[in-house]
Structure 1
Amino acid sequence: EELEHLNEANAEINRGELELDAARSRYRRALSESARRLNAQGSQLGTCIERARPYYEARRRAKEAQQETQRAALRYERAVGMHNAAREMVFVAEQGMGTGKNRLDPTWQEMLNHATRKVNEAEQERLWSEREHQRVTRLCQEAEAEVQRLQKSLRRDIARSRPYFELKAQFNLRLEVLGYTGIYWEGH
Structure 2
Amino acid sequence: MEPGSLRESPAGSGDPKPAEWREEIRNGMAVGNDGKGRAGGGDNIDTFKKTDGEGAEDRIVEKVNIDKKEVRKSEELDPRIQEELEHLNQASEEINTLELQLDEARSSYRRILTDSARKLNAQASHLGTCIEKARPYYEARRLAKEAQQETQRAALRYERAVSMHSAAREMVYVAEQGLMADCNTMDPTWQEMLNHSTCKVNEAEEERVRSVEEHQRVTQQCQQAEARVQSLQNSLRRVILRSKPYFELKAQFNHILEKRC
Q: In structure 2, what is the Cα distance between the partners aligned to 1:19 and 1:76?
A: 43
1:150 partnered with 2:232 = yes
**Matching residue of 1:183:** none
Q: In structure 1, what is the Cα distance between the partners aligned to 2:175 and 2:86?
A: 63
The one-letter amino acid of 1:166's match is E
1:9 partnered with 2:78 = no
The Cα of 1:8 is off from its aligned counterpart by: 2.6
Compare the two structures and name the one with the higher helix fraction: 1
* TM-score, normalised via structure 2 length: 0.66
Root mean square deviation of aligned Cα: 1.2
Q: In structure 1, what is the Cα distance between the partners aligned to 2:182 and 2:102?
A: 72
**Matching residue of 1:24:** 106
The Cα of 1:100 is off from its aligned counterpart by: 4.2
Selected match of 2:243 from 161, 177, 188: 161
Deviations 1:4-44 (A, max 9, x none): 33233222211211111111101100000000000000111
Q: In structure 2, what is the Cα distance between the partners aligned to 1:103 and 1:52?
A: 77
**Contact residue 151 and residue 158 of structure 1 kept, 8 A:** yes
The one-letter amino acid of 2:205's match is E
**Matching residue of 1:41:** 123
**Matching residue of 2:53:** none
**Pairs aligned (count):** 179
Structure 1 residues 113 and 157: CA distance shift in structure 2, 3 A: same
The one-letter amino acid of 1:160's match is R
Query: Which segments of 5 or more consecutive residues in structure 1 lack a partner in the other structure?
Result: 180-188
Q: In structure 1, what is the Cα distance between the partners aligned to 2:174 and 2:108?
A: 62
The one-letter amino acid of 1:60's match is R
Deviations 1:59-91 (A, max 9, x none): 011011001101100110110111111111111
The one-letter amino acid of 2:116's match is S
Query: Which segments of 5 or more consecutive residues in structure 2 lack a partner in the other structure?
Result: 1-81
The Cα of 1:105 is off from its aligned counterpart by: 1.6
- Map 1:103-182 → 2, pairs under 5 A: 104-179=186-261
1:58 partnered with 2:130 = no
**Matching residue of 2:163:** 81
**Matching residue of 1:92:** 174
**Contact residue 96 and residue 102 of structure 1 kept, 8 A:** no
Q: Which moved more, 1:89-98 or 1:34-43?
A: 89-98
The Cα of 1:46 is off from its aligned counterpart by: 0.8
Larger RCO: 1 or 2 (CA < 8 Å, sep 6+): 1
Larger radius of gyration: 2
* TM-score, normalised via structure 1 length: 0.91
The one-letter amino acid of 2:114's match is S
**Contact residue 102 and residue 108 of structure 1 kept, 8 A:** no
- Secondary structure in structure 2 of the residue aligned to 1:104: coil
Overall identity of the aligned pairs, in %: 73
The Cα of 1:149 is off from its aligned counterpart by: 0.7
- Secondary structure in structure 2 of the residue aligned to 1:76: helix
